[in-house]
Amino acid sequence: MRKTSTALTAFSALCLSLLGCASAATPPSSSATAASSESSQPVAAATVAAAAAPAPSEAETPAEAKPAEPKPAAEEQGDGLRKASRPPMDLLTGNNVVYVFNFPSSEKGIAAKEQCEAAGDPAASRECTAKERGKVAVESIRFIKDPHGQYWYVVYNRYKGNLLKWHKVQFVPGKQDADSISLTLVGKDKGIAPMARVPASLKVELPNDYSIVVSDPEYGAMTFDAKIGLMDSE
């Protein structure tokens, strides 16, 4: 019996030893696995967020990346009036056109307005302006080509209610470009109030089809508005 007890004691000791070895070989605890799982979660979340984010729409495109819109034609043209559509001589002598003096838009008219309005009295200003207008003996002008092929510069003025040929001088077309021409005046003034000294030339500017600007040696820059059929053709 004593031998049997001794054998059982030895067997028990051996089993306990084997259990201790098995416990020492146990894998790492679940805390390490959890830490590894937590470290991988931000990467996965970022990947999912990137995949779910919508692509930038056209409305979100930076403004500087879009092409600039073209300016309206009216802005490019400035005053809104188109350029002269034909060569200067064609416009000046064609379509039975008469150019009526626009005093307020001319050099003399602008100066008269500044001078007359200085007093501050509207009635006196109107009277003063009318007086200054009367000093410019021009109502309208024409550029006429007669049946013989000669060109005439004719200035009309009103006298006692009648429109008379104040000046009439022959001219020869000179240098011209798209919107201006120089006229060489030749011979004597054949009007009813002839100029004492006929200028050698006149410069005429044509900014558009509706008006001209004549550089007059006496009155400065004179603006005229084109009128069709106002007078009979000559």
Spell out the per-residue pLDDT of the chain, length 234, in tens. 444 444 444 444 444 444 444 444 444 444 444 444 444 444 444 443 444 444 444 444 444 444 444 444 333 433 445 577 888 999 999 878 999 999 999 999 999 999 999 878 899 999 999 999 999 999 999 999 999 999 999 999 999 889 999 999 999 999 999 899 999 999 999 999 999 999 999 999 999 999 999 999 889 999 999 998 888 777
Q: What is the CATH number of the domain that holds 193?
A: 2.40.128
* Domain enclosing residue 196, as ranges: 88-102+139-228
Give the contacts of 86 (CB within 8 A, at least 6 positions apart): 94, 209
Residue 149 lies in a domain: yes
Cα–Cα separations (whole angstroms), residue 60 to 56, 63, 68, 233: 6, 9, 17, 66
Least Cα distance to 155 among 173, 143, 171 occurs for 143
- pLDDT of amino acid 197: 93
Q: Is residue 23 included in any domain, yes or no?
A: no
**Number of domains within the chain:** 1
**Nearest-angstrom CA–CA distance, 234 and 215:** 25
Q: Is residue 77 part of a domain?
A: no
202 neighbors 183 (Cβ within 8 angstroms): yes
In order of 124, 155, 156, 167, the CA distances from 142 in angstroms are: 34, 7, 8, 11
The pTM score is: 0.64
